[in-house]
């Protein structure tokens, strides 16, 4: 009986040893697979530094959600159509530069109020957000790899485009976009010639119960500067965010040989405010008003903050500064 017990004990030990050897083999294989997986991930999933940290971004993402209209237009300019985006306007009243380009893109929120559930339903493989998108990085990164860019106003539009291009792996395509922008700028410069050398171009925004101007380091201001057009001294400044608010008492700060006015088409109060402004005695003393050179342009275009909107602004400058002069 004692001998049988010893044999049983030996058999158990053998089985234990075999189990341990097997377990060790499994762990070695797992570690090797993990190593291979990490190597594969680092190769096929480049790391991108952003304001919220560092994210491994998939190559050639197919289901991108963007939380910003400039980000949306940047992706479109680079040949990527997101599956979802927020909008700052109604789809039916989208600016002309986005006409026909929003089909098939799901609306996941308006303004800075994205809907987490709608984003989740889209099953994105990448989320590109701004630092004012309205959702926390933790919330978004639990759904998909997420990158967040600094956005402190439309003065950052060129840097934001380059960031989106890097995230999407479209740096070569971005060079083509900038080349086309530079080509359009040079074409406009050539068409203007020296005719506007001493002409000051003013920009007035009527929105949200206030008057404002986009100054030198704003989206439209940077385009005007690239074209070589001068601004009134009160607007020829750089401030954080590129936006300066004006008071009706300082209407002379809006003066210029030409005035471009943007009125939020969806804001009845803004329309009324602009009508009231036109009744002011000081308004009718402005040079551009007296010469009939006040032009109303689209707010979403002139504050678009992306290359597609920039092309549309250049189209407007051709329309009002070149075509009008030839009539």
306 burial via Cβ count (<10 Å: 0-12, 13-18, 19+): buried
| CA 232 – CA 145 distance, rounded (Å) | 45
Q: Which two tokens stand for residue 316?
A: 């407007």
Query: What mean pLDDT is predicted for residues 98-106?
Result: 93
Percent pLDDT > 90 in the chain is: 58
What are the residues facing 49 on neighbouring strands? 54
Q: Are 310 and 200 contained in the same domain?
A: yes
Closest CA to 267 of 295, 300, 294, 242: 300
Q: Which of 14-23, 47-56, 200-209 has the highest mean pLDDT?
A: 47-56
Q: Are 69 and 308 in contact (CB under 8 A)?
A: no
Together in a domain, 114 and 159: yes
227 and 292 in one domain? yes
3-class DSSP assignment, residue 129:
strand
pLDDT in tens, 221-272: 999 999 999 999 889 999 988 888 887 777 777 889 999 999 877 778 888 8
Same domain, 63 and 164: yes
Range with lowest mean pLDDT among 19-33, 196-210, 257-271: 19-33
Q: Which pLDDT does position 72 carry in this prediction? A: 96
Would you say residue 6 lies in a domain? Answer: no
DSSP secondary structure code for residue 1 in this structure? -
Q: Are 293 and 259 in contact (CB under 8 A)?
A: yes
Query: What is the per-residue pLDDT for 210?
Result: 82
* Residue 211 is assigned to a structural domain of this protein: yes
Report the alpha-carbon distance of residue 62 to residue 80 in Å, rounded: 9
Please check whether residues 200 and 239 belong to one and the same domain.
yes
Q: Which of 172, 152, 135 is nearest to 305 (CA)?
A: 152
Beta bridge mates, 212: 205, 245
Q: Is the pLDDT of residue 129 over 70?
A: yes
Query: Are residues 148 and 203 both part of a single domain?
Result: no
Read off the CATH number of the domain in which 147 is found.
3.40.50.1980
The larger pLDDT score, comparing residue 73 to residue 241, is at 73
Residues 6+ apart with CB under 8 A from 116: 135, 139, 143
The pLDDT of residue 43: 53
Convert 218-244 into a string of H (helix), E (strand) and C (coil): CHHHHHHHHHCCECCCCCCCCCHHHEE
Which residue, 109, 136, 169, sits at the end of a domain?
Answer: 169
pLDDT of residue 14: 40
Q: 163 and 199 share a domain?
A: no
- 3-state SS, 10-22, equals HHHHHHHHHHHHH
The more confident residue out of 314 and 212 is 314
* Residue 270 φ/ψ, nearest 5 degrees: -65, -40
325: confidence class by pLDDT, cuts 50, 70, 90? low
Is the domain of 209 the same as that of 119? no
- Check residue 33 and give its pLDDT: 40
3-state SS assignment for residue 87: strand
- If pLDDT is split at 50, 70 and 90, which confidence band does 132 have? confident
Tell me which of 27-36, 77-86, 220-229 is least confident. 27-36
Domain count for the chain, please give it.
2
In sequence order, the 6+-apart residues with CB closer than 8 A to the CB of 273 are: 206, 209, 211
**So what's the pLDDT on residue 237?**
92
Q: Which of 101, 136, 169 finishes a domain?
A: 169
- Eight-class DSSP state of 130: E
Domain co-membership, 240 together with 318: yes
> Are residue 140 and residue 197 in the same domain, yes or no?
no
- pLDDT for 41 equals 42
**Are 202 and 283 part of one and the same domain?**
yes
User: Burial, 17: exposed, middle or buried (Cβ in 10 Å; 0-12, 13-18, 19+)?
Assistant: exposed
| CA gap 316, 302 in Å, rounded | 9
The position carrying tokens 């009125």 is 263
Residue 137 structural domain: 50-169
- State the pLDDT at residue 327: 55
Assess if residue 146 is contained within a domain. Answer: yes
CA distances to 3, 4, 6 from 9, in Å: 10, 9, 5
Mean pLDDT of 151-160: 88
Q: Is 58 found in the same domain as 160?
A: yes
Helix (H/G/I), strand (E/B), else coil: 104: coil
- The answer, yes or no, to whether residue 276 has pLDDT greater than 70, is yes
In a domain, 301, yes or no: yes
User: What confidence score (pLDDT) does residue 158 get?
Assistant: 95
């Amino acid at each position: 009986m004692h001998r049988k017990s010893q044999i049983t004990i030996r058999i158990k030990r053998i089985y234990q040893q075999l189990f341990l050897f097997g377990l060790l083999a499994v762990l070695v294989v797992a570690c090797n697979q993990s190593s291979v997986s990490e190597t594969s991930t680092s190769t096929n999933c480049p790391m991108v530094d952003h304001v919220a940290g560092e994210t491994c971004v998939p190559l050639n993402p197919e289901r991108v959600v963007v939380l910003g209209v400039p980000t949306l237009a940047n992706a479109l300019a680079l040949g990527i159509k997101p599956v979802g985006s927020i909008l700052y306007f109604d789809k039916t009243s989208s600016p002309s530069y986005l006409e026909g380009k929003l089909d098939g893109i799901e609306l996941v929120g308006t303004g800075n109020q994205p809907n987490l559930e709608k984003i989740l339903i889209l099953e994105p493989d990448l989320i590109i957000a701004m630092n004012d998108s309205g959702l926390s990085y933790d919330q978004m990164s639990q759904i998909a790899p997420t990158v967040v860019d600094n956005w402190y106003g439309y003065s950052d539009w060129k840097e934001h485009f380059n960031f989106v291009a890097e995230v999407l792996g479209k740096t070569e395509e971005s060079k083509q976009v900038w080349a086309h922008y530079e080509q359009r700028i040079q074409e406009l410069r050539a068409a203007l010639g020296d005719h506007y050398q001493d002409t000051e171009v003013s920009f007035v925004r009527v929105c949200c119960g206030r008057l404002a101007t986009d100054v030198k380091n704003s989206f439209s201001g940077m385009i005007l500067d690239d074209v070589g057009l001068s601004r009134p001294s009160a607007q020829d400044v750089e401030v954080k965010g590129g936006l300066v608010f004006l008071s009706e008492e300082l209407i002379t700060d809006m003066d210029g040989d030409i005035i471009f006015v943007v009125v939020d088409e969806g804001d009845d109060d803004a329309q009324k405010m602009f009508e009231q402004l036109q009744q002011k005695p000081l308004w009718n003393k402005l040079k551009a008003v007296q010469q009939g050179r006040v032009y109303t342009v689209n707010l979403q275009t002139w504050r678009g903050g992306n290359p597609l909107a920039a092309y549309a602004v250049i189209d407007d400058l051709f329309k009002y500064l070149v075509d009008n002069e030839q009539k």
